[in-house]
Amino acid sequence: MHVIIMAGGSGTRFWPRSRQKNPKQLLQILGDNTLIQETIRRIEPLAKPDQIFIVSTESQIDAIKEQLPQIQSQNIIIEPRGKNTAPCIGLAAVHIRRQNPDALMAVLPADHHISNEQKFRDVMQVAHKVALEQDCLVTIGIHPTFPSTGYGYIQMNSPLAGAKHMSAFHVKTFAEKPDLHTAERFLVSGDFLWNSGMFIWKVSTILREIELALPELYDGLVEIEKYLGTNLENEVINKIYCQIRSISIDYGVMEHTKNVVVIKGEFGWSDVGTWDEVYKLLDKDKHGNVLIGEHHIVKSGSGCLIDSPDKMVAVVGLDDVVVVETDDAVLVCHRNAAQEVKDVVEHLQKKEKNQYL
C-alpha cells in the first residue's frame, strides 16, 4: 500500500502555537511526538518507508525532514502553493503512477488523532480489499457523537454485498458542513457519518475519476507527469499550479461520482481541529481543568485549558476559557469560541502583521 500524507495545512485555529513555518501538524499537542510523527508511526505497519509520501509546502520541508528522517527526500512532494485537496491528491497520484500504475493509494491528513491504532489498521485493511475488489473510491466515515457543524457528512445507502464487508456501504450523498438544525437531523436519522477526509483507492481509479469530473486538472497533471524526474520538473509544476483551480476532492470528485463506498471507522478519531478538541482529549484535574506548564492557578473556575510552558498563568472566577501563551503572543478565548481563532489569523493577515503569522 502506498500512503500519501497531506501536510500542507496551516492550522489557523491553533494560533498562536501554529504558525506558517511551524503549523499544527508539526507541533507536540497531545504528547511527546508531533501529530505528523504519530500519523507516520500509525501507518508504518502497513506500508514500507519507500511507499510513504508526504505532500507539503516549501516552508515546511526542513522541519518535516528533521522530524521524519525515515522518509526519503524523493518521497517529499512540494506544492508551490496550496490549492486544496484535489490538486494535492492528483499530484501525488501521478508521482505514484510513474512508479507503479497498478498501485493502491491511501490518503491521510497529517494532523488527526486516533486512540485505537489497531482498529484503525484493521479498517484500512478492509478498505484496501474493497478498493481492489470493487475498483471504487473508498472513504472512511466516523460515527457522529454530537451534532457537529464543523465536519462534513456522508450519507450511507445500502450495505456493500458480502458478509465480510458488512461495515462497508454505498454512499448516497455528501453534505457540506451543516447548520446546527441540519446537523441535529443528521444525527437523529442514523444514516449519516462524519467525513474524516481519509481515502483509499487505486491510483488508476482516482485519476480516471479526476479526468471525468475535473478534466482541466487532469490535463495539468498529465503535463506535470511528463516532466517528473527531469530538470524541468519544478518549473513545470510551478507554472501549472498557478493556473489550476483550487478545489477539494470532496466537492470536485466525490460528490459527482456514484463509485464511492464508505467504511465505518470506530477507532477513537478526532481531527484535533480546535483548542476545545485538545481540551477534550487531555487528562483533567479534579476541577476539570487542563494545565500545561508549571504552577498555574485556576481559582473558582473549571473546564479551562491553560497552555503556557514558560510563564505562570492565574485564572480567577472564569469557566471554560482557553489561555495559550508563546514568546510573542497570548490567546484568551472561551472554549465555545475556539473555532473563531482562525478569524484572528485573518485579521492579522489583513493588517499585514506578518511577524505574528
Instruction: Tell me the per-residue pLDDT of 111-121, one tens digit each, with 9 for 90 and over.
Output: 999 999 999 99
At 117 the three-state DSSP class reads helix
d(CA 339, CA 337): 5
pLDDT at 8 over 90: no
- The answer to whether residues 108 and 3 touch, using CB atoms and an 8 Å cutoff, is yes
Torsion sign, CA atoms 73, 246, 261, 118: positive
Angle at the Cα of 48 (from 92 to 52), degrees rounded to 5?
Answer: 25
pLDDT at 327: 93
C-alpha grid cell, residue 43: 501507518
Indicate whether 337 pLDDT > 70.
yes
pLDDT tens-digit readout, 275-298: 999 999 999 999 999 999 888 999
Which of 259, 256, 270 is closest to 201 using CA atoms?
259
At 163 the pLDDT is: 47
Reading the block at residue 167, the C-alpha cell is: 461495515
Percent above pLDDT 70 for the chain: 99
pLDDT at 165: 61
Specify whether the backbone of 268 is left (phi greater than 0), alpha (psi in -120 to 50) or beta: left
Q: Which pLDDT tens digit goes with each residue over 134-189?
A: 999 999 999 999 999 889 999 999 888 764 666 899 999 999 899 999 999 999 99
Stretch 91-102: mean pLDDT: 94
Average pLDDT of span 182-200: 95
- Residues 241-246 have a mean pLDDT of 92
Counted residue by residue, the chain has a size of 357
Long-range CB contact pairs, 70-76, < 8 A, 24+: 70/40, 71/40, 75/50
Beta strands 321-325 and 76-79 are unpaired
| Mean model confidence pLDDT for the chain | 94
- Domains of the chain are 2-270 (3.90.550.10), 275-356 (no CATH)
All 3 cell numbers of residue 210? 479526476
**What contacts 24+ positions apart, CB below 8 Å, involve 14-18?**
14/274, 14/275, 14/341, 15/329, 15/331, 15/341, 15/342, 15/344, 15/345, 16/324, 16/325, 16/326, 16/328, 16/329, 16/330, 16/331, 16/356, 17/307, 17/324, 17/326
Cell representation of residue 273: 481541529
* Res 233 pLDDT > 70: yes
